[in-house]
């Protein structure tokens, strides 16, 4: 055998050995890939099984717990809305409706309401509250019965149904409230302009001195009810006809009061303060002012709302004023005309009106004799 033939045979054997080794490596790699895939599949299946058996039920329970808390909070806010309109708890009858196969309960509230309740406004407020929870509310009116049903959906299911049933069997407790603003001498001009521009029945208190004649003209032009504040000094300090003092004779007192009435025409109400107790002297003032066509207001009738500038305190005093109106049928609140007081009063009037309170002009509760 020649050397060339030997080399070719040797080369072929070498190639065959290399090809066998490469094929063997490919088989090993394929088996490793298959084994790795099977291991990964086993891990995935194990994790999925653990998620289904352990994690998912916990997530469902957590979601159910959050839903329950949301529903409870939603129910509390719904009750707050109803309470803000003076709807009493005893007017509400609750029933639970179990829909078999539907997987949920619906609470039905049968709500008796007085005929003067603005149900449309109640629905608007309720819809706003429900929207904060991601829910939805829609109303259905039964024109024949005069009833309105408001359905509240939560997570795609009707959770509450409120049926408002107007009836004469219930009525909201209410009273009449008169508001007065004072302190024009030191009030910001912006607040005075806001007060004059508003058409709300808010009367005012003004001290009848020479410097306030122009202000009085503005107030009367705006058709504001003005209460004259007559303040008596112990002794006369000057000869001004606008100055009142306890040492005036009956004749001088009559002259001074007539002069005040002449310069502040159109007002029909007054109240008196003094640095000392007026006693029998007050009867002289009342006799003269009554003959001039005026009606007296006693300081004891006033509830002062702004002894504190804190808004929460003033809101509490407004609530006290409303309670007095319920008890006494009428209440008079006085507040200093200072910065941001008019927006506060307007907001409080709106809030208490929702509960059935009535804000009225002074003339509706006091008849000039």
pTM: 0.71
Question: Residues 251, 112: one domain?
Answer: no
Each residue's pLDDT, cut to its tens digit, for the chain (369 residues) gives 455 554 566 656 555 554 555 555 555 666 667 666 666 666 666 555 555 555 445 444 444 445 445 567 888 888 899 998 889 899 999 887 765 555 556 788 899 999 888 888 888 898 898 888 888 888 888 878 788 888 888 777 788 888 999 998 988 888 899 999 999 988 999 999 999 999 999 999 999 999 999 999 999 999 999 999 998 887 766 667 788 877 788 888 899 999 999 999 988 999 888 876 556 667 888 889 999 999 998 888 889 887 667 888 889 999 999 999 988 899 999 999 988 899 999 999 999 998 889 999 999 887 644
Q: What angle do CA 288, 291, 296 make, to 5 degrees?
A: 70
Domain boundary among 138, 166, 194: 166
Our count of domains for the chain comes to: 2
Smallest Cα–Cα separation from 345: which of 294, 296, 311?
311
30 inside domain: no
Measured in whole angstroms, the distance separating CA 298 from the mean position of its chain's CA atoms is: 33
Q: How crowded is residue 146: how many other Cβ atoms within 10 Å of its Cβ?
A: 13
Question: Residues 272, 130: one domain?
Answer: no
Domain of 327: which CATH number?
3.20.20.370
2 inside domain: no
Question: Residues 310, 221: one domain?
Answer: yes
The per-residue DSSP string of 67-79 comes to: HHHHHHHHHHHHH
Question: Residues 182, 331: one domain?
Answer: yes
Question: Residues 258, 346: one domain?
Answer: yes
Question: Residues 214, 353: one domain?
Answer: yes
Question: Coil, strand or helix: which one is 209?
Answer: coil
147 inside domain: yes
369 inside domain: no
289 inside domain: yes
Domain boundary among 116, 143, 166: 166
Buried b (16+ CB within 10 A) or exposed e, 108-144: ebebbbbeebebeebbebbbebbeebebebebeeeee
119 inside domain: yes
Domain boundary among 166, 189, 221: 166
Question: Residues 162, 201: one domain?
Answer: no
Question: Residues 251, 183: one domain?
Answer: yes
81 dihedral zone (left: phi>0; alpha: psi -120 to 50; beta): alpha
Question: Residues 199, 267: one domain?
Answer: yes
The per-residue DSSP string of 212-235 comes to: GHHHHHHHHHTT--EEEEEEEESS
- Domain boundaries, position 131: 87-166
Question: Residues 156, 106: one domain?
Answer: yes
Question: Residues 249, 115: one domain?
Answer: no
189 inside domain: yes
Question: Residues 193, 266: one domain?
Answer: yes
Q: How crowded is residue 73: how many other Cβ atoms within 10 Å of its Cβ?
A: 12
297 inside domain: yes
């Amino acid at each position: 055998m020649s050397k060339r033939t030997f080399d070719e045979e040797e080369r072929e054997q070498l190639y065959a050995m290399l090809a066998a080794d490469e094929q063997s490596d490919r088989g090993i790699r394929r088996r490793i890939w298959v084994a790795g895939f099977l291991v990964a599949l086993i891990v995935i299946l194990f994790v999925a099984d653990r998620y289904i058996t352990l994690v998912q039920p916990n997530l469902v329970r957590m979601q159910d717990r959050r839903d329950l808390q949301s529903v409870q909070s939603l129910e509390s806010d719904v009750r707050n809305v109803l309470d803000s309109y003076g709807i009493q708890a005893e007017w509400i009858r609750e029933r639970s409706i179990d829909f078999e196969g539907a997987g949920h309960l619906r609470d039905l509230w049968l709500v008796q309401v007085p005929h003067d309740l603005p149900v449309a406004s109640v629905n608007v407020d309720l819809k706003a509250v429900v929207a904060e929870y991601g829910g939805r509310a829609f109303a259905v009116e039964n024109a024949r019965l005069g009833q309105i049903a408001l359905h509240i959906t939560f997570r795609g299911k009707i959770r509450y149904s409120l049926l408002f049933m107007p009836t004469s069997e219930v009525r909201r407790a209410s009273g009449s409230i008169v508001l007065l603003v004072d302190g024009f001498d030191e009030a910001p001009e912006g607040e005075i302009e806001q007060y004059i521009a508003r058409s709300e029945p808010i009367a005012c208190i003004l001290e009848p001195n020479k410097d306030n004649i122009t202000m009085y003209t503005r107030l009367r032009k705006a058709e504001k009810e003005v209460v004259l504040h007559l303040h008596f000094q112990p002794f006369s300090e000057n000869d001004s006809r606008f100055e009142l003092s306890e040492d005036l004779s009956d004749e001088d007192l009559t002259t001074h009061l007539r002069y005040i009435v002449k310069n502040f025409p159109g007002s029909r109400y007054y109240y008196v303060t003094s640095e000392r107790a007026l006693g029998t002297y007050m009867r002289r003032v009342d006799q003269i002012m009554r003959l001039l066509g005026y009606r007296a207001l006693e300081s004891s009738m006033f509830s002062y709302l702004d002894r504190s500038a804190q808004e929460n305190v003033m809101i509490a005093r407004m609530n006290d004023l409303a309670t007095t109106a319920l008890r006494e049928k009428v209440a008079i609140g006085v507040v200093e005309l200072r910065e941001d007081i008019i927006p506060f009063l307007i907001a409080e009037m709106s809030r208490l009106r929702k509960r059935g309170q009535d804000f009225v002009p002074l003339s509706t509760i006091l008849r000039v004799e």
